[in-house]
Chain A
Amino acid sequence: MEIQMKKGLLDVCVLALLRRRDSYGYQIVIELSNVIEVSESTLYPILRRLESAGQLVTYTREHGGRLRRYYRITRAGLDRLDRFNREQREIQKIYAFIQGEDE
């Protein structure tokens, strides 16, 4: 997949996953890898980017004698998902243009 595009899509995929339920790093990788190719090392910058943009927050919970960091989607994150969905028609138009199906 086009690398720049994939970057943006990964952001949205992570947010979409977190909308279903809060999750932690490894779990996110496992679940997303069914949909889009992602590794532990590519996920980290995405999580940090989303966090610094205020689209997700983190909290820790104890698990088996250690702390596990969970990620929860915020209002801003949900807004971004909504915006992405609204842009669906626009994107489809772009796809049609690229494939030469317009006119």
Chain B
Amino acid sequence: MTKRKYLQKLKKKLGKIPASEKAEIVEYYAEIIDELYERGKTTHEIFRTLGTPEQVVSDYFNENEGPIIERKHPHSKNFYLSSTDDNEQKKKTETSNLHQKNKKINILLVILLFPIWFPVFMLGFALVLTVSITIIALLVAVVSIVIACGFAGIYCFIVSFGLIPAHGALAVIQICAAFTLLGLAMLFGLLVKPLGKGIGGFFKLILRKKSCSTGVTVKSKWVTVFIIGIILIIGGGCTGVCTFQSALGGDWHNLAVVGNFTEQTKVIALNTENLSFVADNLQVEVLPSEDEEFRLVYFENEELKLNYVYENGTITIKNGAWSNNAWEYFRQTWQRGVMFSSVVSAYARAKLYLPVSYKADLTLKVDNGMLSIADFTGETVGLKNVNLTTNNGKIKVNNLKTEKLTVCSQNGYIALDCVNAGIIEAKTNNGYLELKNLVANTVNGITHNGAITCERIKGEIIELSTNNGSIKGTIVGQESDFKISAKVNLGHCNLSNKETGDKTLRVKTDNGAINLSFAEVN
């Protein structure tokens, strides 16, 4: 045991006694230890002389029957030698009276100076809170990185062995990636202890108003872990990249050993009036076809067939069983590599070609994937109802003429440009709305968490609403044309409500500014 450790332990064992008293005790024992040391005693002898911190503390409390400071009756029986003294008692009561007077003055001062000390106190409190939350956040982030890198590394390492017979080079790359991840986990792991100590030190500093050393002692173990981590990162990274370049030609598509992707083309004989498309994980693009044919083009892997069904005007494409079955998924990963699923998903895209003469409803619905439709314009109104829905993905619409356009995304942004429709409805929960060059009777834009940007929106009824985000841009027309209702909870609004006007403009945001201007466009 070192002197510092002994004193720290002593401090801890003393428990809840006033900080000043604790400091006095520690100082006293520090001095005794120094004295013994100067007299040539070994540390072992010193601590044997003093006894364990527990003994010291028990002596302290026994001698006092409670800490000295808390002693309320100085003439209790264990101080019998002075208990007979009346003079002293008198003196004591006098001084205690004086103390009481001082106390009253102090309380008065505290109350009178409240406007000064309270803001200072609150400022200090806020600062302490900020610093401690920052350090804790850092610690949580570092711990998360360590856990994530560690688990990913171990997973990658284990899974790579299944790949060795199928593709040695890929297995090597994966094992290298695993080493790099483990190295990263080790390096970040080194940060955990200093950060933890930093938090401890910070709170000690605040609670005891006394500086204490939080210096991290550099130990050989620390250095070893650091060096191993660096070697793993550099070694793993370099070997991996070199193998990737030489064996796979630097093409990331080769990272998944899943055979060849081939383009599939399905010609659809439309047997109903309307067309729907449903898919789980697919990025769908709708384009005008050059001839009068309905065509669907998508990529398929020869070993992982997609389930394509066309029935009653509905096209359905679902992934094979592997994507929903955990065991099958793991088997595929074991045989084909960790990068396998991401490469497969990079190929998860389809193009739907529609003849320009098609004049009916179009419904697209996917779970995960981006949707886009472009270049359906003509002299007459083309499509009737266009309905685009995705859970996770953005939606893009360019150059479209339709009767009604409804786009809906949960977690993705929506961008509409050059749309001419009777009704335009755009709805997203977590994403922004970008509305450009719209001409419609009714424009309805709703988002919960995102901004709304407009450029040249022309409409009889325009409604824009968001919970957290700003609304800005230009509306076609003159301010006098519009009946305006603008609501802002927190933020600036440049519109003023008015009741007269042929057209309607309703704008609403809870947290954000509204900045809309009116412009005449020919």
Contact = CB atoms under 8 A, between A and B. Distances in A.
B279 to A, nearest CB: 79
A41 B50 contact: yes
Contact of A12 (B34, B64, B78, B81): B81
A4 B65 CA distance: 12
Given A48-B68, A68-B31, A41 B55 contact: yes
Given A11-B81, A40-B49, A45 B29 contact: no
A84 B81 contact: yes
Interface in B50-93: 50-51, 55-56, 59-60, 63-64, 68, 74, 77-82, 85
B51 A4 contact: no
Given A24-B31, A48-B24, A52-B68, A42 B63 contact: yes
A7 B34 contact: no
A53 B394 CA distance: 80
Nearest to B30: A66
Given A42-B63, A83-B85, A8 B79 contact: yes
A39 interface: yes
Contacts of B80: 4, 8
B65 to A, nearest CB: 10
Contacts of A83: 85
Contacts of B74: 53
B294 to A, nearest CB: 93
Interface residues of B, number: 29
Contacts of A11: 81
Interface in A50-84: 52-53, 64, 66, 68-69, 80, 83-84
Contacts of A64: 38
Contacts of A66: 31, 34
Classify chain A: how many residues form its interface, as a range: 20 to 34
A37 B24 CA distance: 23
A45 B64 contact: yes
Given A52-B68, A64-B38, A44 B81 contact: no
Given A4-B78, A4-B80, A80-B82, A25 B28 contact: yes
A40 B78 contact: no
B31 A41 contact: no
Contacts of A26: 31-32, 35-36
A45 to B, nearest CB: 4
B87 to A, nearest CB: 9
A53 B27 contact: no
Chief secondary structure at chain B's binding surface: helix
Interface in B15-57: 24-25, 27-29, 31-32, 34-36, 38, 49-51, 55-56
B61 to A, nearest CB: 9
Contacts of B77: 4
A40 B53 CA distance: 12
Contacts of A8: 79-81
B31 A42 contact: no
Which of B34, B35, B49 is most buried by chain A, counting CB atoms within 10 A of its CB? B35
Interface in B182-212: none
A45 B63 contact: yes
A7 B35 contact: no
B59 A39 contact: yes
B469 to A, nearest CB: 63
A95 to B, nearest CB: 16
Nearest to B92: A53
A85 to B, nearest CB: 12
Contacts of A80: 81-82
B50 A53 contact: no
Given A8-B80, A41-B51, A84-B81, A46 B31 contact: no
A11 B85 CA distance: 16
A46 B24 CA distance: 13
Nearest to B21: A48
Given A40-B49, A41-B51, A84-B81, A7 B32 contact: no
Most buried by A among B27, B34, B85: B34
A44 B28 CA distance: 8
B60 A7 contact: no
A93 interface: no
Contacts of B32: 25-26, 40
Given A8-B79, A12-B81, A24-B35, 20 more contacts: A4-B78, A7-B78, A8-B81, A25-B32, A25-B35, A40-B32, A41-B50, A41-B55, A41-B59, A41-B60, A45-B63, A48-B24, A49-B64, A49-B68, A49-B79, A53-B74, A66-B31, A68-B31, A69-B31, A83-B85
23 contacts: A4-B78, A7-B63, A7-B78, A8-B79, A24-B31, A25-B31, A25-B35, A39-B51, A39-B59, A40-B29, A41-B55, A44-B28, A44-B29, A44-B60, A45-B59, A45-B60, A46-B63, A47-B28, A49-B64, A52-B68, A66-B34, A69-B27, A83-B85
Interface of B: 24-25, 27-29, 31-32, 34-36, 38, 49-51, 55-56, 59-60, 63-64, 68, 74, 77-82, 85
